[in-house]
Homo-oligomer: A and B are copies of this chain.
C-alpha cells in the first residue's frame, strides 16, 4: 500500500478541557502493507462526538487518553478497499473506531458493524443509525423507561442524540419538552423534531420554562449537560422520576470536580433514580436498536440533521465547534 497516502489528524498537544484547532495537526504518512488477518478501510466520513473531549484529556475515563502524535480516536464509516482478512471483503461498508485518518488498517477488533442499509446514506451510520441514535434508544428506553403519557425533558434537544430521544419518546406516547440554545434550535425542536414545548436556555429562564411546560413535574430527564440547565430540571422532578446521564457537556474540566447543588435530597424527596450509562455496554443489543431506528427513518417518523465539515483541516476545530454549539445536527467530517 506504499503508493497510498494516509492523511490523518493527530493529537499535537494535550488540552485541559475542550481541544481546539491548535491541539491537532494534519500530517500525511504512507499506508503500511497489510498483514494476513488485516484489511484496509478508506474512510468516507469521520464522526465528531462530545466524548472525544474526554478521550484527549488526561483524567480517569472509560478509555485511556489518546497519545500525543497518535491519530485522533473517533468513529468513522468507510469502505473496505483491500482485505487479507477472511471475514471482511472488499466493497463492504463498515463503521468502527478508525480514527481521524483517510486509511485505517484494521484486524476487525475496532469494527462496530457492517452497514447493511444500502438504501440510506453511509453518513447515517455515524448519526441516527449509529451511536447517536443507539444512545438515544437505550438511554431513553432502557434507562429512563418512559411510560405513555409521561413528561420527558431532553437537554441538548436539537442535537444528534437529543433530537432522537425526543422523537422516540413521542413515538412512545410521551409529552416531550426540549431545551436548546437559541431560537433556531428551539424552532427545529418544535418543527422538525415534534417537541410539545421547547425552551431556549440562552434567552429564557429555564426553571420558569420547565415549570410552565411540566405542570405535573418531570417524569424522565435525559441529560447531556450537568450544569445550570440540569440544576433547574432537577428542582421539578415528579415522584419516581428517572434521570439518564448521557453526557456532561456544561463542564469542560473535571479536575477538580466542579461543584453544584447537591442532588441527593431531590432524589430522596422524589424517590427518583439518576443513572449513568454508556452505549458501548449495549453492543449485544445494537441490532434491536438499529432495526427500530432504520424502520422509523424509512417511514419518515424519525427526522435528523447533518452538519458536514469538509476535510482534515476543518476537523481540527470540530470538537470546539461542537462544544460551542456551532453545529446544527450531527457533526461529521467529509474525508478528503
User: Measuring CB to CB, which residues of chain A are less than 8 angstroms from any residue of chain B?
Assistant: 60-62, 223, 226, 230, 245-248, 251, 254, 256-278, 281
Contact = CB atoms under 8 A, between A and B. Distances in A.
Contacts of A60: 269
A274 B275 contact: yes
Contacts of A271: 275-278, 281
Nearest to A269: B62
A274 B273 contact: yes
Given A259-B259, A260-B259, A265 B248 contact: yes
A276 B261 CA distance: 16
Contact of A265 (B254, B273, B274): B254
Contacts of A267: 245, 274-276
A259 B261 CA distance: 4
A257 B247 contact: no
Nearest to A277: B271
A275 B272 contact: yes
Contacts of A251: 262, 265
Given A245-B267, A251-B262, A262-B259, A274 B277 contact: no
17 contacts: A61-B269, A62-B269, A226-B264, A245-B264, A245-B268, A247-B268, A248-B268, A257-B262, A264-B274, A266-B276, A267-B274, A267-B276, A268-B276, A271-B275, A271-B276, A271-B281, A273-B275
A88 to B, nearest CB: 30
Nearest to A225: B264
Among A251, A270, A274, A277, chain B packs the most CB atoms within 10 A around the CB of A274
Given A223-B264, A268-B278, 5 more contacts: A62-B269, A226-B262, A257-B262, A259-B261, A266-B276
Contacts of A272: 275-276
B257 A265 contact: yes
Contacts of A268: 245-248, 276-278
A246 B271 CA distance: 10
Contacts of A245: 264, 267-268
A266 B230 CA distance: 16
A288 to B, nearest CB: 19
A269 B270 CA distance: 24
A257 B248 contact: no
Contacts of A259: 259-262
A78 to B, nearest CB: 29
Contacts of A274: 263-264, 267, 273-275
A307 to B, nearest CB: 25
Nearest to A260: B262
Nearest to A51: B268
Counting chain B CB atoms within 10 Å of each CB, the highest count among A257, A265, A281 belongs to A265
Given A273-B273, A276-B270, A263 B263 contact: yes
